[in-house]
Amino acid sequence: MSEKGLNNFFEEYLKKEPLFINKSVLQSAYTPDEIPHRDDQIKQIANILAPALRVERPSNIFIYGKTGTGKTVCVRHTTKKLEQVAKQNNVNLKIVYLNCKLSKVADTEYRLIAQLAREFGKEIPSTGLPTSEVYSIFYKAIDTEKNVILIILDEIDQLVSRTSDEILYNLTRINSELKNSQIAIIGISNDLVFADNLDPRVKSSLSEEELVFPPYNALQIQDILKKRSSKAFKEGVLETGVIEKCAAYAAKDHGDARRALELLRVAGELAERSGETNIEVNYLDMAEEKIEKDRVIDTIKTQPHQFKATLYAALTLDKGKKSTLFTGDLYEVYKEICAKTGLRSLTQRRVSDIIAEFDMLGLINAKVISKGRYGRTREINMAIPQSIEPKIKEILVKDLGL
DNA sequence: GTCAATTCACATGAAAGAGACCACGGTCTAGTG
DNA sequence: CTAGACCGTGGTCTCTTTCATGTGAATTGACGA
């Protein structure tokens, strides 16, 4: 684009009518003032937590529900209100929210406790200290005066799957170590059967109260979308049927409201970019494709070299012959690739794990099958959409330096 | 033909090592008064 | 005398390797009809 063309482009851009009034309303970080269809759950949470206002320890709560069913939003909403009331009445109440999955801040025992201590104004190095030391710093920090502390652990299943349930055991026992303060834990999990694999002692103390968030149905999602979109978009921008279709997409996929909102936002962005004055239904399809594509490319880009090499091996092998491929074949090709790129090749044991991880990420379908006399192995198929395969290959070739 | 034993090619688990990063305390060194 | 440089020790954390054990059905081979 020439200098002049670029100028024109920006001029044109400014002249265009934006479709959004406030895009952030559709972003996942946004906490709405009212949460439709979750009155019961909010009431229950409020009931359980209310004793905190009298400086009594509330019961620990365990909250289950699939992604996008409003767990986090409800908890944050309720605790925010609780905090406000506590402040007005000079009640010592501290609420700590930690996401155990996001941003590597709290995905090990050390980091979790360190992060908690940091919330109370203590400086903790990212490494170097014994974990027990961090515990005692934390104890000292919170036990200075009488107060109630609510610890919200979001995606707690991730924490446990990466480490062990010992952390939770320690956390639930903290109270017996404290003289003044009291701690209550709110655990939030996407995994519905998560607690079944927990140590029984941990389970019973952690889930003194249990709450289940059912998925939204299509009508409820429509409701949510309507409320939010009225704040996010200009009036009349959404064509009829857009919200309905968006809700239907999400309801089909276990009622994930977060997904529905993202879909709507991306559809809006796409429409805006191509200069439309309103959002048609077909932009939803485009949005879905774009979201999926971005997700795949993003996850692949952020993988370590060894993972990329493994994926590249799977990709080339998949292209080569039509029949399904097995771990052994893939490992051979992987070794060749390592030789070519000068990468140190890993053992088959490790590559096997890497394949399993790609399966978890949804980039590969790997199913363990037994071929009888001919052994047991994984049957591997690519799960990457055909349309973006060339692009993926390009990225891998570039990153691997082939 | 039937049925249990065998066998393959990995899967899956557990434990431990390597190497990066870091804190802390002790010792050494050079600069200062 | 003191601040800062420089170890050595001990800690966490991630990625791997090593060693050990598990696994499910095709195949095999003995057995009886």
Q: Is the pTM of this model over 0.85?
A: no
Q: Name the residue closest to B20, CA to C1'.
A: A127
Determine the average pLDDT of the residues in A110-138.
Answer: 81
> Residue A234 carries which DSSP code?
P
d(C-alpha A127, C-alpha A111), whole Å: 9
pLDDT, residue A378, reads 94
pLDDT, residue A396, reads 92
pLDDT, residue A206, reads 79
Q: Provide the positions of strand B that have an atom within 7 A of a protein CB.
A: 6-14, 20-24
Give, in Å, how far the C1' of B6 lies from the CA of A138: 59
pLDDT, residue A33, reads 81
Nucleotide with smallest C1' distance to residue A126 CA: B22
d(C-alpha A83, C-alpha A93), whole Å: 7
pLDDT, residue A134, reads 82
Determine the average pLDDT of the residues in A68-79.
Answer: 89
Residue A309 pLDDT grade (very low, low, confident, very high; cuts 50, 70, 90): very high
pLDDT tens profile A326-365: 999 999 999 999 999 888 999 999 999 999 999 999 999 9
Nucleotide with smallest C1' distance to residue A327 CA: B10
Nucleotide with smallest C1' distance to residue A345 CA: C16
| Strand C contact with A127 (CB < 7 A) | yes
pLDDT reading at A62 higher than 80: yes
pLDDT, residue A103, reads 58
Residue A245 pLDDT grade (very low, low, confident, very high; cuts 50, 70, 90): confident
| Strand C contact with A108 (CB < 7 A) | yes
pLDDT tens profile A196-231: 767 777 778 777 888 899 998 888 988 888 888 888
Give, in Å, how far the C1' of C19 lies from the CA of A378: 22
| Strand C contact with A107 (CB < 7 A) | yes
Q: Where in A52-156 does DSSP place strands (E)?
A: 61-65, 93-99, 148-154
Question: Which conformational region is residue A275 in: left (phi greater than 0), alpha (psi within -120 to 50 degrees), or beta?
Answer: left
pLDDT reading at A178 higher than 60: yes
pLDDT, residue A104, reads 62
| Strand C contact with A170 (CB < 7 A) | no
pLDDT reading at A322 higher than 60: no
pLDDT, residue A1, reads 61
User: For chain A, what are the domain ranges?
Assistant: 39-212, 216-294, 303-400
Give, in Å, how far the C1' of C3 lies from the CA of A381: 63
- A378: which strand partners? A368
pLDDT, residue A333, reads 93
Residue A102: C-alpha distances to residues A39, A53, A105, A295 (Å): 28, 30, 7, 16
Give, in Å, how far the C1' of C26 lies from the CA of A376: 11
Determine the average pLDDT of the residues in A286-309.
Answer: 91
Give, in Å, how far the C1' of B9 lies from the CA of A348: 12
Give, in Å, how far the C1' of C18 lies from the CA of A349: 10
Give the mean pLDDT of chain A. 85
Q: Which residue's entry shows tokens 């170590």?
A: A177
Give, in Å, how far the C1' of C11 lies from the CA of A129: 6
pLDDT tens profile A74-120: 999 999 999 999 999 988 888 888 887 765 667 788 888 888 888 88
Going across the sheet that includes A209-213, the strands are A93-99, A148-154, A182-189, A61-65, A209-213
Give, in Å, how far the C1' of B24 lies from the CA of A142: 24
Question: Bigger pLDDT: A79 or A129?
Answer: A79
CATH of domain A303-400: 1.10.10.10
Q: Name the residue closest to C25, CA to C1'.
A: A372
Give, in Å, how far the C1' of B18 lies from the CA of A130: 20
Give, in Å, how far the C1' of B24 lies from the CA of A131: 15
Q: Report CA A162 to chain centroid distance, whole Å.
A: 15
Positions 337-376 in A, CB within 7 angstroms of strand C: 344-347, 349-350, 353, 370-376
Determine the average pLDDT of the residues in A358-385.
Answer: 91
Residue A370 pLDDT grade (very low, low, confident, very high; cuts 50, 70, 90): very high
pLDDT, residue A310, reads 93
A67 SS3 class: coil
pLDDT, residue A358, reads 94
Q: Provide the positions of strand C that have an atom within 7 A of a protein CB.
A: 10-20, 22-27
pLDDT, residue A320, reads 64
Task: Give the architecture-level CATH label for domain A39-212.
Answer: 3-Layer(aba) Sandwich (3.40)
Residue A293 pLDDT grade (very low, low, confident, very high; cuts 50, 70, 90): very high
Give, in Å, how far the C1' of B7 lies from the CA of A374: 8
Nucleotide with smallest C1' distance to residue A130 CA: C11
pLDDT reading at A172 higher than 70: yes
Going across the sheet that includes A364-370, the strands are A325-326, A376-382, A364-370
Most confident of the ranges A195-204, A295-304, A314-323: A295-304
A324 SS3 class: coil
Residue A137 pLDDT grade (very low, low, confident, very high; cuts 50, 70, 90): confident
Nucleotide with smallest C1' distance to residue A370 CA: C24
CATH of domain A216-294: 1.10.8.60
Most confident of the ranges A225-229, A276-280, A384-388, A392-396: A392-396
* Cα-Cα-Cα-Cα dihedral sign, residues A133, A136, A140, A141: positive
